[in-house]
């Protein structure tokens, strides 16, 4: 590929970032693209408005849930070594693993943990513990605090809990703490030279912090909490690194498990297995899932993707095997996800010539809304669904289990514990779009804003799916 093509990409991202950040109050943004042997990194704006530190090409940031692909890679490394088997029950390796309904944990296989099909109802469970025993503390707490949303393998629901249990499983079978494992078996071999596993390490170098918009002044204010607790490490709470590091990790997956320096990080078979469909909800708002990766269909092109929320920030990693391309980015307000989506679609359409079909072409008028009305629950979350003026209206409320959980969740969410009511219009039975949004907005990553309802029995939906996460009819 000639250098000019990537110069065009660099200029495009620079322009797009400047315009979006200015009009949407995003202090800073950093992005990188690797394509066919060349790579570029673009930085814009400010890493921390409190200090005025600039966002630089090598500024670190929280990976957030992009870490889940690393945790999955670690699991598959142990499978390659014969230390783990994907189709063995987790309790065989982790006898302490239990949930608050007797016997349900026994049915969860290792595979279910990393394919988001485990059903563990712990998505907002934030036990506050630090250090060597943090993951052990997390798993111990599940037995009294968390149940299941569905039978293992029955449904798909994005699972922080599954990844954290996988992290503890890794500690038990390798004898190493999860942060050490991540540093020695992912960062080192993949060539992620500026990545760390804690705030204490990250403070030794330049690091961005997240921000939330003040609704009254519309100015970005730094978060009061840099990272989630250590208990959330394997789900993305604590790992920090740079765009160049995520490009190196993405390139490792592009090259069948071989890092840019030629070090074997994962077998070609396991790298391929991560890309195979593990579960497909057959619903436009929830792409099929592999192991670790979400498999976004853009026409005939599959993008392996994972985005990661951190307190006041959002990262993304996309690998496009058909076109030898990796895209990664971080923005330091939650709204930066829309800029990441815009850049991804520009890269696919303009740079790679991928035809992206329209996902939602029209709305259906005469859809019976009654099967979806009711109360849906998951761990510490309640969603009330009613019919208002011919549309579905959802009211979402966080119901903290204790003061510690409330403190952590509130800081993570930027100070709010309930969302304003949101109206939805029917696309077809069981599938809804937030009212007032242009339909083309859902062609890319933001298809996750659509809401679907599943498993209709006796004219009532059993599950609501928003953002890939299930809540169950109460």
- DSSP assignment of 74-143: HHHHHHHHTS--TTSBHHHH-TT---SSTTGGGG-BHHHHHTT-S-B--TT------STTHHHHHHHHHH
For the chain of 474 residues, list the mean pLDDT of each consecutive stretch of 10: 83 98 97 97 98 98 98 98 98 97 94 98 94 97 96 96 98 98 98 95 93 91 93 96 98 98 98 98 96 97 97 98 98 97 98 95 94 97 96 94 91 83 96 95 94 96 96 97
Phi, psi of 429 (to 5 degrees): -55, 130
Given the residues 65, 195, 196, 270, the one annotated as active site: 65
pLDDT score, position 4: 81
pTM for the structure as a whole: 0.97
* Known catalytic residue at 65: yes
pLDDT for the residue numbered 418: 74
């Amino acid at each position: 590929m000639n250098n000019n093509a990537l110069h065009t990409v660099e200029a495009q991202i620079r322009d797009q970032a400047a315009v979006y950040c200015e009009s949407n109050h995003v202090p800073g943004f950093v992005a990188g693209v690797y394509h066919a042997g060349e790579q570029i990194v673009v930085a814009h704006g400010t890493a921390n408005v409190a200090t005025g530190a600039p966002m630089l090409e090598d500024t670190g940031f929280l990976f957030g849930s992009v870490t889940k692909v690393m945790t999955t890679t670690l699991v598959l490394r142990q499978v390659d070594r014969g230390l783990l088997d994907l189709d063995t029950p987790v309790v065989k390796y982790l006898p302490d693993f239990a949930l608050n309904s007797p016997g349900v944990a026994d049915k969860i296989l290792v595979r279910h943990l990393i394919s988001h099909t485990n059903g563990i109802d712990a998505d907002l469970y934030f036990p506050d513990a630090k250090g060597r025993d943090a993951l052990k503390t997390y798993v111990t707490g599940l037995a009294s605090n968390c149940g299941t949303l569905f039978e293992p393998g029955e449904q798909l629901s994005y699972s922080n809990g599954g990844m954290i249990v996988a992290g503890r499983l890794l500690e038990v079978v390798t004898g190493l703490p999860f942060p050490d494992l991540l540093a020695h078996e992912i960062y080192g071999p993949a060539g992620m030279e500026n990545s760390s596993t804690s705030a204490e390490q990250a403070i030794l170098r330049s690091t961005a912090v997240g921000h939330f918009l003040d609704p009254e002044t519309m100015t970005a204010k730094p978060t009061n909490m840099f990272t989630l607790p250590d208990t959330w490490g394997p789900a993305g709470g604590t790992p920090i690194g740079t765009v160049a590091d995520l490009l190196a990790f993405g390139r490792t997956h592009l090259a069948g498990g071989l890092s840019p320096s030629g070090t074997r990080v994962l077998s070609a078979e396991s790298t391929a297995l991560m890309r195979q469909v593990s579960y497909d909800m057959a619903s436009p708002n929830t792409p099929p899932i592999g192991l670790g990766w979400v498999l976004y269909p853009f026409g005939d092109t599959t993008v392996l993707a994972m985005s990661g929320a951190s307190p006041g920030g959002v990262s993304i990693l996309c690998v496009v095997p058909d076109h030898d391309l990796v895209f990664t980015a971080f923005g330091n307000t939650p709204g930066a996800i829309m800029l990441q989506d815009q850049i991804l679609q520009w890269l696919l359409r303009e740079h790679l010539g991928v035809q992206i079909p329209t996902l939602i072409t029209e709305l259906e008028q005469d859809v019976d809304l009654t099967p979806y009305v009711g109360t849906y629950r998951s761990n510490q979350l309640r969603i009330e669904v009613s019919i208002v003026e011919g549309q579905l209206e959802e009211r979402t409320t966080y119901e903290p289990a204790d003061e510690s959980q409330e403190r952590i969740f509130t800081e993570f969410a930027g100070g709010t514990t309930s969302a304003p009511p949101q109206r939805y219009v029917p696309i077809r039975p069981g599938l809804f779009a937030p009212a007032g949004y242009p339909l083309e907005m859902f062609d890319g990553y933001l298809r996750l804003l659509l809401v679907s309802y599943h498993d209709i029995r006796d004219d009532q939906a059993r599950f609501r799916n928003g953002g890939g996460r299930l809540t169950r009819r109460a």
